[in-house]
Amino acid sequence: MELRFTKEQEELRQAVRYFAETEVAPAATMMELTDEFPYELVNRMAQIRLMGIPVAKQWGGAGSDFISYIIAVNEISKISAAAGVILSVHTSVGTLPILHFGTEEQRMKYVPKLASGEWLGAFALTEPGAGSDAASIRTSAVPEGDHYVIDGTKVFITNAGAAHTYIAFAATDRGQGPRGITAFIIDRDTPGFRIGRKEKKMGLHGSSTCELIFDRMTVPIAQRLGEEGGGFAIAKASLDGGRIGIGAQALGIAEAALQLAKNAMKPLNGSARVEPEHARLADLAAQVEAARLLVYRAAYMRQEGMPCTVEASTAKMFASDTAVAAAGEAVRMLGAQGCTKELSAERLYRDAKVTQIYEGTNEIHRIVIGNRLLK
């Protein structure tokens, strides 16, 4: 079966590609230099309706499909993986969980502002002692009358500090394990909520990654997302889409690195080194194409409402491994120049590594895939 975009999807791809080359590229240079969040760029993304691509127009979105959203993340990430992950987190795990699991009142309050880009969304699951093992989170939520009192700390939260809303998870009954986790929609001005340390990362400069501190944070029951104890299921469902988004980000990195590697090969044509380098390039091109097919197959399944946990894990794992391999080859083929900031190869190499780690480490995804194979 051939992967072919519809006319509308291809038009979107071309429009996003032009936007990435003309507006994301200069912003990416400044992000790399200053490591500051690109508020103006995100505003521009909102203006051209990229912040709510798969959300229906009735909710303030662009009314397009999930594949179109993945196309946008893919194209933007070819130019800036940091801008790509801002969009990915905002959409996959910052907006869609409210649309899919929220009450009518919650949808009316939050989704139009998020889908239009007026507000930015984030997702707060990871804790100092609970990364890939989300079921072991220690943040607690204790009901008191018409509200919950939440205490705990979240770490490595993408978009933190810039986001207006956070989908956060806390244990309402630790004795129930995963069934004791509940999801909440947290406004940034909620009493007891504050932004902690901002991480200084080796890659993804400009993407804000911070610690969140909940100190007797008071959250009305109306801000609970789904039923009490239903948070783990919400997290799992949301992360399927999130992992496809990160797969698209990694694919963008890999495609950009492959292009740099091809450019590095051109001066070698006719030299004695050309045949072994051709072989390396061919292997790399095959890996990138395989990653592309896996990412868009998972996106198609997600769009059609088909179960896709294993497919999302496979796409994210393979695309991120490919991104690291492709970026490494680009640096190698460019030699000393590949290690300088004059070319983007070294940035791609730094940006690629985290794609193997966040949205579930690739070791965890191999366990997910292995468990399914052995069932």
Q: What residues are labeled active site?
A: 359
Residue with tokens 């999807």: 9
Token pair 């500051």 is at which residue?
36
Q: CA 90 to CA 111: how far, in whole Å? A: 11
Which are the contacts of 198, defined by CB distance < 8 A and separation ≥ 6? 161, 208, 209, 210, 211
Q: In this structure, are residues 159 and 89 in contact, taking their beta carbons and an 8 Å threshold?
A: yes
Give which of 94, 92, 99, 76 is closest to 27, Cα–Cα: 76
DSSP letter for 199, please. Answer: P
| Dihedral, CA of residue 82, residue 86, residue 91 and residue 97, to nearest 10 | 110
Tokens encoding 365: 């995804």
Token code pair at residue 310: 């294993």
**Of all helices (H) and strands (E), which one includes residue 154?**
strand 147-158
What are the b/e assignments for 107-137, b being 16+ CB within 10 Å? Answer: bebbbbbbbbbebbbbbbbbbeebbeebeeb
Q: What is the DSSP letter of 259?
A: H
The CA-CA-CA angle for residues 50, 308, 17, to 5°, reads: 25
**Distance between CA atoms of residues 203 and 353, nearest Å:** 8
Sign of CA dihedral 186, 187, 193, 197: positive
Rounded to an integer, what distance in angstroms lies between the CA atom of residue 38 and that of residue 17? 18
